[in-house]
Amino acid sequence: KKNIKYKSKLVAKQSSKIAEKKLQDQKNKKRKLIEAKKLQAKKAREKKLLEKKLQDKKQQQEKIAQEKKLKEIKEKNKLDAKKILEKKLKETKIKEALDKKIEEKKLEEKKLKEQKIKETQKIEQEKKEAEKMQEYINLPEPEEDNNINKVNIPDGLTVNVQEKQSGSSEFNDQETVYIGQHEVEILKIQYEVEREVAKYWRPPEGLSKDLSCAVNVLIDWDGRVTQVLVVKSSGVLMYDISARVAASKLVLPSSLYGKDINIVFNQ
């Protein structure tokens, strides 16, 4: 009986151990399963995190690549715009240079045209002046009269005679230097010139009595008038021509031979 009890206890004890072991195995299995699930979840999280990092990195790289591409496009556009601007500037400069040349050519043509008109007008003026002078030259010469007292000097006629100053190219009626050493000699020369002017000078009629014309007369040593130039115009062409024609015909006193003088014609 003792053996049977002992065996029963032993079997029960063994059964209990088996049950405990089985329970422990189940616990271990469950624990391992939980740990496996945790590990799987951890790996899943790590994988997801890694995938996210890779995705973020990829997106970052794509963003960098896109920004780089945009930058390149901007730089290209900027370069293209610069080239276009440079081209436009070049075209503008070429156009401006061409326009300038065209304008210069127009101005030159205008200048030449104006010059031609002036030359034509000058020729016409000289032609008219020559024709008028010829009319005066063709007027009948006054009869020679050796009697000085019979030459009438018109009322108001005055003739100032001055010797041209050396180096002076302009007439200055404020610095008149009369020919002659003494007052009597001056008056005599003045009178003789006035007589000659009265013979040949025929000023146009109907003009103002305030007109005055100064002519430069060059006399050679034989007493011939070799040059007559208007040095101070009256402002009236016919008046100036009449003075030139008269001066060219003057027979001047010997005291004026070889001199370069100015004669002022006043009415």
How would residue 3 be classed by pLDDT, with cut points 50, 70 and 90?
Answer: low
User: Does residue 261 share a domain with residue 163?
Assistant: yes
User: Does residue 76 share a domain with residue 175?
Assistant: no
Cβ neighbours, 10 Å, residue 201: 21
Q: Which of 79, 110, 141 is the last residue of a domain?
A: 110
Q: Is residue 49 part of a domain?
A: yes
User: Does residue 166 share a domain with residue 251?
Assistant: yes
pLDDT computed for residue 118 by the predictor: 86
The CATH number linked to 215 is 3.30.1150
Domains in the chain, number: 2
Mutual angle of helices 183-200 and 237-249, in 10-degree steps: 110
User: Does residue 83 share a domain with residue 162?
Assistant: no
Q: Is residue 29 part of a domain?
A: yes
DSSP state of 252: -
Residue-wise pLDDT for 84-122, tens only, equals 888 888 888 888 888 888 988 889 988 888 888 888 888
Nearest CA to 259 among 216, 218, 215, 226? 218
In terms of phi and psi (left: phi > 0; alpha: psi -120 to 50; beta: otherwise), the region of 258 is left
CA distance 214 to 232: 5
Share of the chain above pLDDT 90, in %: 2
**CA 69, chain centre distance (Å):** 48
Look up residue 100 and give its two tokens.
């300038």
- The secondary structure element, H or E, covering residue 147 is none
User: Does residue 186 share a domain with residue 92?
Assistant: no
For the cut 80, the answer to whether the pLDDT of residue 141 exceeds it is no
Question: Residue 226: CB partners within 8 Å, gap ≥ 6?
Answer: 218, 219, 220
Look up residue 189 and give its two tokens.
């020369």
For the cut 80, the answer to whether the pLDDT of residue 261 exceeds it is yes
Q: Is residue 140 part of a domain?
A: no
- Is residue 224 within 8 Å of 247, Cβ to Cβ? no
User: Does residue 105 share a domain with residue 29?
Assistant: yes
Residues spanned by the domain of 234: 155-266
Indicate the pTM of the whole model: 0.43
Q: Is residue 197 part of a domain?
A: yes
Q: Which of 83, 110, 137 is the last residue of a domain?
A: 110
Mean pLDDT of the chain: 76
DSSP state of 153: P
Q: Is residue 133 part of a domain?
A: no
Q: Is residue 11 part of a domain?
A: yes
Q: Is residue 213 part of a domain?
A: yes
User: Does residue 184 share a domain with residue 102?
Assistant: no
Q: Which of 80, 110, 140 is the last residue of a domain?
A: 110
Establish how many alpha carbons lie within 13 A of residue 48's alpha carbon, considering only the half-sphere containing its beta carbon: 6
- Is residue 193 within 8 Å of 161, Cβ to Cβ? yes
Q: Is residue 141 part of a domain?
A: no
Q: Which residue has the higher pLDDT, 182 or 259?
A: 259
CA distance 188 to 180: 9
